[in-house]
Amino acid sequence: MILNAFELSRKVAIVTGCNTGLGQGMALGLAQAGCDIVGINVSSPVETARKINALGRRFLDLRADLSSIQGIPALIEKAVDEFGHIDILVNNAGIIRREDAIEFSEKNWDDVMNVNSKTLFFMSQAVAKQFIKQGNGGKIINIASMLSYQGGIRVPSYTASKSAVMGMTRLMANEWAKFNINVNAIAPGYMATNNTEQLRADEDRSKEILDRIPAGRWGVPEDVMGPVVFLASKASDYVNGYTIAVDGGWLAR
Ligand code: NAP
């Protein structure tokens, strides 16, 4: 039956940056669908761990600063040691820096590109190697943005990094579909999390944004639960290289 295709019992999902925000929402959504979760975080994910354990699922707490790719092999090894396999990767960790393009610093460029693009690629590569070794395919879900489609204002490295996420999602899908690996992305619209705290604090910008969202509200972490479960499950086996906007209609406007 079709609803069984969404079921994720006995699957293991790595979610980066799941101590808060959209990452926490997606980790909880995947756990509700049956997954055990490997969280990779800088900050302590106590609340996420507690909520996942309360669902009767296991949570492996791994710590790493994803501005560098150095720790990736050890992270994969620890996940496999604990659970024996990996089935799903959600590349969620991301940062944003706001500064006028005319003044934008090299540090603000490199910091954002490292976490949002470089680590996302090399984490995907490492997990794809593990999927190929396991021989059963797998699911990679990248977190893109409205700025994968649009230019944005005062966020040059964020726009560059998230535009790269949409392109890399297609490239990885093209190369790895033959291994039954599905690579897709979710592009959240304007969501109420730490990432948009500054925007929401600016009354004029906040009103401008809200007025343009057809759904008439900022998104919340629960809004990405359904899409991530779909992309992590058998229900999306023939979806390859696509970026799904979860934006309350922002892009349709
Ligand atoms: P958030 O609350 O700021 O979450 C970002 C997550 O990434 C946090 O868990 C953060 O950890 C983690 N992270 C940042 N740098 C890291 C590093 N060097 N190593 C390991 N983890 C790191 O914001 P969010 O909105 O949930 O963002 C999640 C993803 O959605 C990001 O990729 C973001 O770009 C994307 N997104 C958000 C929106 C939006 O409107 N909110 C829209 C489109 C896309 P700490 O908490 O420890 O810093």
User: Taking all residues of the chain, what is their mean pLDDT, rounded to a whole number?
Assistant: 97
From the CA of 94, give the closest atom in ligand 1. 32
Residue-range domain boundaries for the chain: 2-247
**pLDDT at 248 (0 to 100):** 98
- pLDDT band at 216; cut points 50, 70, 90: very high
Give per-residue pLDDT as tens, 109-145: 999 999 999 999 999 999 999 999 999 999 999 999 9
Q: How far is the CA of 17 from the centre of ligand 1 (A)?
A: 6
122: exposed, middle or buried (C-beta count within 10 Å: 0-12, 13-18, 19+)?
middle
In the reported structure, the alpha carbon of residue 95 is separated from the centroid of ligand 1 by a whole-number distance in angstroms of 5
- As a whole number, mean pLDDT of residues 241-247 equals 98
Catalytic one of 158, 190, 238, 242:
158
Give buried/exposed letters for 22-52 (b at 16+ CB in 10 A, else e).
bbbbbbbbbbebbbbbbbbbeeebeebbebb
pTM greater than 0.75: yes
Query: Of the candidates 167, 172, 143, 163, which has an alpha carbon nearest to the alpha carbon of residue 246?
Result: 143
Q: How confident is the model at residue 66 (pLDDT cuts 50, 70, 90)?
A: very high
Reading the block at residue 218, the tokens are 């900022």
Q: E strands along the chain, which residues?
A: 12-16, 36-41, 59-63, 88-91, 138-143, 181-188, 243-246
Find out whether 42 and 216 touch, Cβ atoms under 8 Å: no
Q: Residue whose CA is closest, atom 44 of ligand 1?
A: 145
Pocket probe mutation, ligand 1, options 14, 63, 92, 228, max atoms within 8 Å of Cβ: 92
CATH code assigned to 2-247:
3.40.50.720
CA of 151 to the centre of ligand 1 (A): 19
Residue closest via CA to ligand 1's atom 22 equals 93
Which residue's entry shows tokens 């204002």?
153
Q: Which DSSP string do the residues of 140-183 spell out, in sequence order?
A: EEEE--GGGTS--SS-HHHHHHHHHHHHHHHHHHHHHGGGTEEE
Nearest CA to ligand 1 atom 13: 93
Question: Is residue 242 annotated as a catalytic residue, yes or no?
Answer: no
Q: What is the pLDDT of residues 75-105, one digit of tens each?
A: 999 999 999 999 999 999 999 999 999 999 9
* Signed CA dihedral, 144, 235, 53, 126: sign only: negative
Centroid of ligand 1 to alpha carbon of 250 (angstroms): 20
Give the mean model confidence (pLDDT) for residues 172-178.
Answer: 98
CB 236 within 8 A of CB 195: no
> Which residue out of 28, 42, 114 has the highest number of ligand 1 atoms within 8 Å of its CB and is therefore the one to mutate?
42
